[in-house]
Amino acid sequence: MARYFAPPADYRPGLVYQLRYSLEGGDLRPTVLQLPNPDASGRREAVVLVHGFNNHYGEAARAYQGFRNQQYRRYGDDLRAPALEALLADTHWPGDAAWGVADLADFLVYPVAVGTARQAGPILAAYLSGLPNLEIVHFLGHSLGCRVVLETVRHLSERPRVGKVCLMAAAVPVSKVEWGGELESAMTRAQSVLVLYSGSDLVLTAAFPPGQTLASGSEGFFPTALGHERPPPTVAGAVEAIDVPGAAHGHYWGHEDNAASRSATRHAGDFLGLMQAPRSIEGRAAGAAAGEIPQREMPAARQIG
């Protein structure tokens, strides 16, 4: 069982929305801590990245950097690092536990993490709504982070406008995003929604239904996850869905660098228009690299499954 590991050496995000106190586990911050400096508050457009369940800070950083690396590798000289740092905003939230030698049983914290995801949305929404220059915001979420995304969109005020929302391996009950569902307004507020799904995802096949059932009676009884199969026509909003053949739950961000991972990052990057990012945000300065959260003593951690 691996211990906590630090972010990759090349992980130097231009903007971080910090919702956690600790590198692993810990409580949800009641307000967003923006890193590294307030200069990024002048952005008119942002793509907010949201990691999923059971990711400590280092794991989320590895996933986020993997996504960046895949985009730079795809576009080569047409998209040079750190061009994306003027657009991306990495969200870190405590959807994990720090249980020492009991970390193998982290799945037991999933019902609590669902509640944390629901609480994180309004906090992030309040922060984004308070940014004076932000005109449009896009989202890229994975796993339970998709719940954070949809709860954020649901609680946003009239501004900023919600552009594109990409949901990868979404650990969200289908019933929540159908017409009349609790998250219908989030789906319809987005300009467009892309759902990347995979029937090969054993986490969403076997672990999600009982875990979501335990989370709360309102979550449904053994529900189907949005990211497990093609969404039915009853799902609200302007939704496009793409199957990612062979994708396991941890194959979407790009850090695994396999065929499924490259496919997922390609679809997400194209949907979000990242190739146009340097031109659409020309003249904006990328933020300075964000430092890590001050290190605390951390117990053993687990790898992303």
What are the pLDDT digits (tens) for 173-196? 999 999 999 999 999 999 999 999
Q: 296 is written with which tokens?
A: 């605390």
> What b/e sequence results for 33-46 when a residue is b if at least 16 CB atoms lie within 10 Å of its CB, and e otherwise?
ebbbeeebeebebb
Residue 282: pLDDT band by 50, 70, 90 thresholds? very low
pLDDT reported for residue 134: 94
pLDDT(249) > 90: yes
- Least trusted range by pLDDT, from 44-58, 153-167, 200-214, 256-270: 200-214
156-180 average pLDDT score: 97
Q: 216 is written with which tokens?
A: 């709360």
305 within some domain? no
pTM of the predicted protein model: 0.89
44 within some domain? yes
Is the separation of the CB atoms in 221 and 213 below 8 Å? yes
9 within some domain? no
pLDDT reported for residue 277: 64
pLDDT(91) > 60: yes
Domain count of the fold of the chain: 1
- Least trusted range by pLDDT, from 86-95, 118-127, 135-144, 203-212: 203-212
Is the separation of the CB atoms in 117 and 19 below 8 Å? no
pLDDT(112) > 70: yes
pLDDT reported for residue 303: 32
169 within some domain? yes
pLDDT(2) > 50: no
Residue range of the domain that includes 131: 16-280
Is the model more confident about 38 or about 52? Answer: 52
Indicate which CATH number applies to the domain containing 116: 3.40.50.1820
pLDDT(71) > 60: yes
11 within some domain? no
Q: Average model confidence (pLDDT) for the chain?
A: 87
pLDDT(292) > 60: no
pLDDT(290) > 90: no
71-89 average pLDDT score: 92
167 within some domain? yes
244-265 average pLDDT score: 97
Is the separation of the CB atoms in 153 and 189 below 8 Å? yes
